[in-house]
Structure 1
Amino acid sequence: FTITSFEDPKNYGLSLTLGGGEVRMTEMAQAFSMFANQGVPRKLNQILKVEDRFGKVLYTFKDTNFVPDVKKAVPAPSSLSIPGKRALSRDASYIISHILLDDNARSGAFGAGSLLVIPGKAVSVKTGTTDNKKDNWTIGYTPNFLTAVWVGNNDN
C-alpha cells in the first residue's frame, strides 16, 4: 500500500506529520486500516450487506479475518494473528490504536465522553482539520470496522 496523493516529495517536509499535505480519504482509510489489522494492509470494502425492500439479504460481505467483538480494550498484539504481509509491526499498531482509544487524551479538545466515544466499545479515533478550518475529517476503527467521514466544501 502506498499513498499516491503525494506527487512531488519536494513539496512536503516535516509539516506532513501534522497534516501539511493533501491525501485522498480512501488512502487515509487504507492507512488506518493497517493499525486496526496489526500492521497488515487490507483491501477496503464499502458494502457489508444489501437487502431488498422486504428485508431479504441479497449480498453479505464475508471476511475470513473477522475477529471477535472487542468491548473494552484493543487486543494485545499476541492475542490475535491476522494473516498477510505486514507493513507495520504488531506492537507499533497496538500502541497507536491504544493511544487513539484514549478518551482522556482528547478530552481537552472534545470534552470527556464526547460523541467520539461509543459506550461499551473500544473504538480508536483520529480527527483532522485543514488550515482555516475549511475541511474536517474523522476516522474511527475497531479490529472489524473502519469509518471515515469528511465534512467540508468541495469548491477548492
Structure 2
Amino acid sequence: MYCFLSTMSLADICVISTTIPKMIVDIMTHNRVISYGGCLTQMSLFVLFVCMDDMLLIMMAYDRFVAICHPLHYQVIMNPRLCGFLVLVSFLLSLLDSQLHNLTVLQLTCFRDAKIPNFFCDPPELFKLTCSDTFINNIIMYLVGAIFGFLPLSGILFSY
C-alpha cells in the first residue's frame, strides 16, 4: 500500500507542477500566452500524471481487495516485485493515453493564432483555434476519455 501511496503522491505533485509554475509566471509578467510547443509539453505531462493517478487508484483498489479477501496470503500475493510491476503498468498505460492525446492534437494542420491565450492548455482549447474539421478528433478524444475513465471506475467497483 505504501508503494502505491508514495507513487500517487509523487504523481499528484507532478500534476500541480505542470500548471502552477506557468500560472505564477503569468501572474508576475501579466502575460497569459503559451506557445504551441509549451502547450503540447504541458498537455502531455498533465494527462500523463492525471491518468497515472487514476491507474494507481485501480492498483490500490486491488491491493485493498487482496488485503481484505486474502489476509493470510497478502504478503505472498502483494510482494514488492508485483507492486513495482503494477506501478510500471500504470505508468505505461498513462503514457499511452498521453501520447494518444498528443497525436490527436498533432493531426491538426493549421491554426488561426500561434499563441494560446491561457496558462493551461488542453485539446478543446486547441480545437477552437484550428482551421480544419475537428469532428473525428473530438470523437477520438471522447472515446479515449471514456475508456480511461471507465477502466478505473470498473476496477474500483469490481474490488468491492
Please classify the TM superposition score into its range, dividing by the shorter chain length: under 0.3
Task: Choose between structure 1 and 2: higher helix proportion.
Answer: 2
Q: TM-score, normalised by structure 1?
A: 0.26
Greater RCO structure (CA 8 Å; 6+ sep):
2
Task: Choose between structure 1 and 2: higher strand proportion.
Answer: 1
